[in-house]
Homo-oligomer: A and B are copies of this chain.
Amino acid sequence: MQLNNMYIGIDGGGSKTEAMMCDEKGVVVARTVGGSTNVKSRSTDAIKQTLKELFHDLFIQADVAYEHVTGVFVSSAGGDRLEDHERWQDWIYEVAPGIRGKMDVRNDAYGALASGTFSMEGTVLIAGTGSIAYSILDGESRRVGGWGYLLGDEGSGYDLGRQALSKVAHMHDGLMELDLEFMQIMLTSLQVDSAAEVITAVYEDDYPRRRIASLAEHVILLAQAGNATARQIIGEALRSLLELVDQVHSEDVPLVLSGGMFQSTFMRLAFCNLFEKKYPHHHAIIHPDVPPVVGALVCALLLGEETVTNEVKENLQSSSRSLNRSFT
């Protein structure tokens, strides 16, 4: 039974939702993971059920009452829109009716940024399923990218996979020179024997986007091994990502690199090289060592007007890590 002010951070991604609770010192006392809370992929009832379970888990683990919660921060894909904001508030009040503290719902860039800066200042570049750059400075936010897989998301994992298959198509059709190594690795990764079978493999898959995005890691590995076609794709992707950052970034704030693409050391270093040519005097590029949900906790603490001291930061890092370990 805790008597401190308690904070909840929620990171609502496309495929899963992660929630954590910490006290005012940043000590994480509960962590739980549930399904997607994206209204585009699940029904409202299913989302509410997920949230109900998440809150139930958190409060059981933490052994505190609803009224001890001082701040709830939701960092969610698409959370910029007023309707999402209202939807989330309604859901939370419904599944956790005793909750009293302040509540805010923002774009998932917030959690990602704060997981690197432990503040709400700076630029974050997210390259994962999609791609977006987001800067927050003096409370003002600017975003660029984030148009989704049909209209943009250049430099995302999906984009890498799509470019790779487009090259396979062009090689097959004689529109570009055959790179046998590249072609073979892509076909093997898709588990097909010939380029002609790619069409069926992609369009008859239940999740064509996931199937296409699954090729990204093979493109990265090939580029790392020196394959020319893969290097070209990666090069274009990195330049697109740099263009996004360029639009919103200022040299004197930290840049946080977040998302699945930067899990690859190769991608991270390649991007940093490109970035440093453009911003030679830039000092802080951060690759967070905690997940975005910890960033959401930082935002919740700030919402409750707590100061995120070095002690709080270290508490968040060490306690979230040990909790993460106990879950995997």
Contact = CB atoms under 8 A, between A and B. Distances in A.
Nearest to A81: B200
Nearest to A173: B144
A247 B172 CA distance: 11
A162 B166 CA distance: 15
Contacts of A152: 166, 169
Interface residues of A, number: 28
B150 A208 contact: yes
A281 interface: no
A151 B169 contact: yes
B247 A175 contact: yes
Interface of A: 40, 81, 144-148, 150-152, 162, 165-166, 169, 173-175, 198-200, 202-204, 208, 212, 243-244, 247
Contacts of A243: 175
A173 B142 CA distance: 10
Given A147-B166, A151-B169, 12 more contacts: A40-B203, A145-B173, A147-B169, A148-B202, A150-B165, A150-B208, A150-B212, A151-B162, A151-B198, A151-B199, A173-B247, A175-B243
Contacts of A162: 150-151
23 contacts: A40-B203, A40-B204, A81-B200, A144-B175, A145-B173, A146-B199, A147-B165, A147-B198, A147-B199, A148-B199, A148-B203, A150-B202, A150-B208, A150-B212, A151-B162, A151-B166, A151-B169, A151-B202, A152-B166, A173-B244, A173-B247, A175-B243, A175-B247
B144 A174 contact: yes
Contacts of A150: 162, 165, 202-203, 208, 212
A169 to B, nearest CB: 5
B173 A151 contact: no
A249 to B, nearest CB: 12
Contacts of A147: 165-166, 169, 198-199
Nearest to A151: B165
Q: Which 10 A-B pairs have the closest CB atoms?
A: A144-B173, A147-B169, A151-B165, A152-B169, A174-B247, A151-B169, A148-B203, A175-B243, A151-B166, A173-B247
A70 B14 CA distance: 55
